[in-house]
């Protein structure tokens, strides 16, 4: 089952040590990000996946001697694709007009 907002073990690429702190380098459909071990495999959202937390990650990886572009290209297979529901999407404007006609 795909976890849309959390981080799972199969998303992790490698551990990274920065300034004496251990991080895990992970990938999702938005790209690379750094997270911590306590965020793995919980059913809670991982705030490290938020866009604000991702700012500067590529520069941090380059400073550590890693190549973010190569890592992302090599680990595309780890990106989870959500199946989504097969129900047809409802346009809220049309739905509101339908409810007025029924009255």
Residue 83: its pLDDT value, please? Answer: 61
Residue 93: its pLDDT value, please? Answer: 76
Distance CA 4, CA 12 (A): 15
Q: Specify the pTM.
A: 0.73
| Cβ count near 68 (within 10 Å) | 17
Distance CA 32, CA 83 (A): 21
Residue 64: its pLDDT value, please? Answer: 94
Residue 58: its pLDDT value, please? Answer: 93
Residue 94: its pLDDT value, please? Answer: 75
In what helix (H) or strand (E) does residue 13 lie, and over which residues does it extend? strand 12-18
Regions of the chain short of the pLDDT cut 70: 1-2, 81-87, 96-103
Q: What is the DSSP string of 48-74?
A: GGSHHHHTTHHHHHHHTT--HHHHHHH
């Amino acid at each position: 089952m795909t976890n849309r907002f959390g981080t799972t073990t199969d998303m992790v690429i490698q551990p990274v040590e920065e300034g004496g702190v251990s991080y895990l380098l992970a990938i999702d459909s938005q790209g690379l990000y750094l997270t911590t071990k306590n965020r793995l495999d919980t059913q809670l959202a991982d705030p490290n996946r938020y866009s604000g937390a991702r700012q500067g990650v590529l520069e941090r990886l380059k400073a550590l001697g890693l190549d973010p572009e190569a890592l992302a290209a090599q680990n595309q297979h780890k990106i989870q694709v959500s199946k989504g529901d097969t129900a047809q999407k409802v346009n809220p404007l049309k739905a509101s007009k339908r409810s007025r006609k029924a009255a």
